[in-house]
């Protein structure tokens, strides 16, 4: 065997009594066959694999990562608190060194949930990785974190939450947004004015197979991680890139997922999407668990696996090679970009329209960021949804300079009810959350 075995924690919470709706893909049955395969392989009996019961996240944990409208209680159910709690448990077990790495095989998923959350979008209510990351920062004093999102859909929620944070590197590889929900995640989406390069998007053409994913890993993701030097690496381990997934159009295999995980060597993996619940998930999950534990995964194969049938075209290979080069050039140029993009502005604004497909809500946002060379910058968001709710939020970054802090506190002080249902103050540095 190539690898030294590692101690791997498994937080398995299939929520067998929860579904979004009766025939929704995010359903009770989703992890049933994964559980069957994990049990039948006897993985939980292996000396270096330990299963842990998930904890339950608190509203306080959620309020560190989100501005929930009207509040965290209203947009979550017990299932969300447990899946976020499962991710937190994974982090605790790794950071207290009980295990070397951990996989939170939990549902419901979270990577489409954005900073301001009026409801559920893309099957997600709250961003379980972000809730976990803020928990890690508060409790373990860790600053630099990288999230590598290998779900087939753009990790737009995680990107949104860390858009202005230079200390959290969000890399998302996904099926091209021209061909798949949520229609975003292009290479020019590169982070906020004070955090350029901390958001990396790698859109891939439909039908990309193992070769393409691994090329991007070797030529884009791993080199960028080497430069960024995160203290921990998190994998948002969506499994809908699989060739049998019913709602996407990619050609990744269980073996490819395991190899990717082995090379990426994340400290924590958190399950995201993946809806080929019989043909893919049992094998992909067993492959990932074995790879994390440093065990031989060479015999993990889908029964119908045929590499020739799913191999990507030469065109795709060429496209991915050139896109990879382009992203690396942007990455190398990231420090020079600010002047070009920001110019002499003191504040930068962007407006966004967000659609909550799961809950059918439309939201309009205006985000204002203070241009700052000393921190991620003060962020202010005005958000109005067609539910009639309009809010304003003042957000101080995880590391906040005195000038941004003074400005933020002053704005919050001056703002008064009037046109807003609620005004929020989220101080990620001092862990303060106030609503008025």
Partner 1 sequence: MILGIDVGGTHTDAVLVENYQVRKKAKVLTDNSNIMASLLAASQNISLQENLKNIKRIVLSTTISTNAIVQNKIDRVGMVLLSGPGLSPATLKSSTDSFYVSGYINHRGIEIKPVIEQEIKDTGEYFRNENIQKIGIVGKFSTRNPQQELSVAKILRNNNRQFSLGHRLSGHLNFPRRIATAYLNAAIDRIYNDFVREVGLFLREIGANIPVYILKADGGTILIDQSISYPVQTIHSGPAASIMGVLATTAIKEDAVALDIGGTTTDISVFADGAPLLEASGVTINGNKTLIRGLYTKSIGVGGDSIICIKNGEILVGPLRDGPAAAFGGTYPTLTDAIIVLGMAALGNPQKAIAAIQPLAAQLKTDIISLSQSILDKAIAVITSNVRKVLSAINNQPVYTIHELLEGKTIRPQSVYVVGGPAAAMAPSVARSLGYPYHIPEHSEVTNALGAALARTTAEVTVLADTEKEVLTISEEGIFRKIPHTFSSAQAIEAGKEALKQRVLRMGASIDDLEMEVTEVQEFNMIREFYTTGKNIRAKIQIKPGLISACNIG
Buried b (16+ CB within 10 A) or exposed e, 255-280: bbbbbbbbebbbbbbbbbbbbbbebb
CB neighbourhood size of 187 (10 A):
13
Alpha-carbon gap, residue 362 to 390, rounded angstroms? 12
CB of 181 to Zn ion, least distance (A): 8
State how far Cα 236 lies from the chain centre: 5
| DSSP structure class, residue 167 | T
Query: Among Zn ion, partner 1, none, what binds residue 375 when CB lies within 5 to 8 Å by partner kind?
Result: Zn ion
Query: Among Zn ion, partner 1, none, what binds residue 98 when CB lies within 5 to 8 Å by partner kind?
Result: none
Alpha-carbon gap, residue 177 to 431, rounded angstroms? 35
| Piece of 90-98, 113-121, 164-172, 393-401 that binds Zn ion (CB under 5 A) | 393-401
CB of 262 to partner 1, least distance (A): 14
Is residue 361 within 8 A of residue 336, CB to CB? The reply is no
CB of 403 to Zn ion, least distance (A): 6
Tell me: does residue 47 bind partner 1 (CB under 8 A).
Answer: no
Question: Which residue reads 């559920």 in tokens?
Answer: 120
State how far Cα 402 lies from the chain centre: 30
Tell me: does residue 153 bind Zn ion (CB under 5 A).
Answer: yes
Give the three-state DSSP class for 249.
Answer: coil
Query: Among partner 1, Zn ion, none, what binds residue 273 when CB lies within 5 to 8 Å by partner kind?
Result: Zn ion
Alpha-carbon gap, residue 369 to 372, rounded angstroms? 9
State how far Cα 413 lies from the chain centre: 33
| Residue closer to partner 1, measured from CB, 42 or 418 | 42
Tell me: does residue 238 bind Zn ion (CB under 5 A).
Answer: yes
Measured CA to CA in angstroms, residue 206 lies from 46, 239, 300 at distances of 38, 15, 24
| Piece of 168-176, 289-297, 340-348, 355-363 that binds partner 1 (CB under 8 A) | 289-297
Tell me: does residue 310 bind partner 1 (CB under 8 A).
Answer: no
CB of 62 to partner 1, least distance (A): 17
| Residue closer to partner 1, measured from CB, 81 or 401 | 81
| Piece of 145-153, 173-181, 301-309, 376-384 that binds partner 1 (CB under 8 A) | 301-309
Among 171, 401, 426, 427, binds Zn ion (CB under 5 A): 401
**DSSP character string of 194-263:** TSTTSEEEEEE-TT-BHHHHHHHIIIIIHHHHHHH--SEEEEEE--TTBTT-TT---BB-HHHHHHHHHH
Query: Among partner 1, Zn ion, none, what binds residue 270 when CB lies within 5 to 8 Å by partner kind?
Result: none
Tell me: does residue 315 bind partner 1 (CB under 8 A).
Answer: no
Alpha-carbon gap, residue 361 to 371, rounded angstroms? 31
Q: How many Cα neighbours within 13 Å face the side chain of 362?
A: 2
Is residue 281 within 8 A of residue 34, CB to CB? The reply is yes
Q: Which of 112, 154, 242, 255 is catalytic?
A: 112
The size of the interface with partner 1 (CB under 8 A), counted in residues, is: 49
Among 165, 404, 420, 423, binds Zn ion (CB under 5 A): 404
Query: Among partner 1, Zn ion, none, what binds residue 151 when CB lies within 5 to 8 Å by partner kind?
Result: Zn ion
| Piece of 26-34, 109-117, 121-129, 413-421 that binds partner 1 (CB under 8 A) | 26-34
Among 134, 149, 176, 302, binds partner 1 (CB under 8 A): 302
Alpha-carbon gap, residue 231 to 329, rounded angstroms? 24
Host H or E run for residue 396 = strand 390-396
Give the contact letters, 236-255, x = binds to partner 1 (CB under 8 A), - = no. Answer: ----------x---------
Give the three-state DSSP class for 7.
Answer: coil
Query: Among Zn ion, partner 1, none, what binds residue 372 when CB lies within 5 to 8 Å by partner kind?
Result: Zn ion
Tell me: does residue 371 bind Zn ion (CB under 5 A).
Answer: no
Q: Any idea of the CA torsion for 198, 376, 102, 235, to the nearest 10 degrees?
A: -20
CA torsion through residues 136, 83, 25, 251, sign: positive
The size of the interface with Zn ion (CB under 5 A), counted in residues, is: 11
Tell me: does residue 176 bind Zn ion (CB under 5 A).
Answer: no
Alpha-carbon gap, residue 138 to 140, rounded angstroms? 6
Among 148, 170, 220, 300, binds partner 1 (CB under 8 A): 300
255 is catalytic: no
> Which residues within the stretch 156-185 sit at the binding site for partner 1 (CB under 8 A)?
none
Rg of the chain over all Cα atoms, to the nearest angstrom: 21
Q: Which residues are catalytic?
A: 112
Question: Which residues sit at the interface with partner 1, rule CB under 8 A?
Answer: 12-18, 22-25, 27-29, 32-33, 35-37, 39-45, 51-54, 56, 78-79, 82, 246, 278, 282-283, 286, 290, 295-303
Question: Which residues sit at the interface with Zn ion, rule CB under 5 A?
Answer: 151-153, 238, 240, 273, 372, 374-375, 401, 404
């Amino acid at each position: 065997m190539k690898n030294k075995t590692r101690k791997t924690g498994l937080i398995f919470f299939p929520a067998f009594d929860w579904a979004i709706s009766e025939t929704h893909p995010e359903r009770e049955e989703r992890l049933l066959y994964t559980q069957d395969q994990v049990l039948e392989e006897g993985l939980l009996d292996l000396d270096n694999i330990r299963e842990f019961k998930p904890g339950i996240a608190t509203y306080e944990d959620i309020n560190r990562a989100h501005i929930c409208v009207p509040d965290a209680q209203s947009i979550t159910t017990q299932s969300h608190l447990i899946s976020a709690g499962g991710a937190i448990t994974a982090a605790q077990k790794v950071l207290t060194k009980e295990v070397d790495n951990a996989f939170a095989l939990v549902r419901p998923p979270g990577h489409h949930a954005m900073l301001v959350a009026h409801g559920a979008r893309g099957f997600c209510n709250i961003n379980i990785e972000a809730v976990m990351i803020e928990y890690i920062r508060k409790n373990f004093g860790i600053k630099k974190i990288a999230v590598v999102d290998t779900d087939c859909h753009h990790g737009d929620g995680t990107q949104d939450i860390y858009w202005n944070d230079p200390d959290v590197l969000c890399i998302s590889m996904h099926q091209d947004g021209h061909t798949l929900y949520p229609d975003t995640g292009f290479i020019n989406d590169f982070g906020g004015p004070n955090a350029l390069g901390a958001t990396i998007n790698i859109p891939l053409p439909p039908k990309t197979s193992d070769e393409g994913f691994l090329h991007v890993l070797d030529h884009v993701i791993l080199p960028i991680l080497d430069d960024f030097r995160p203290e921990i690496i998190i994998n948002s381990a969506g499994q809908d890139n699989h060739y049998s997934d019913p709602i996407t159009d990619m050609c990744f295999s269980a073996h490819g997922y395991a190899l990717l995980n082995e090379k990426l060597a994340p400290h924590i993996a958190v399950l995201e999407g993946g809806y080929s619940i019989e043909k893919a998930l049992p094998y992909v999950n067993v492959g990932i668990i074995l790879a994390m534990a440093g065990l031989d995964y060479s015999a993990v194969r889908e029964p119908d696996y045929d590499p020739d049938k799913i191999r990507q075209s030469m065109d795709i290979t060429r496209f991915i090679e050139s896109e990879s080069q382009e992203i690396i050039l942007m990455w190398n140029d990231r420090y020079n970009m600010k002047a070009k993009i920001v110019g002499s502005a003191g504040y930068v604004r962007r407006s966004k329209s967000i659609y909550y497909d799961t809950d059918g809500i439309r939201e309009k946002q205006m985000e204002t960021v203070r241009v700052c060379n000393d921190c991620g910058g003060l962020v202010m968001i005005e958000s109005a949804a067609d539910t009639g709710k309009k809010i304003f939020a003042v957000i101080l970054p995880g590391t906040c300079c005195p000038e941004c802090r003074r400005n933020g506190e002053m704005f919050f002080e001056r703002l008064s009810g009037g046109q807003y249902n609620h005004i929020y103050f989220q101080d990620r540095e001092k862990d303060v959350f106030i609503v008025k």
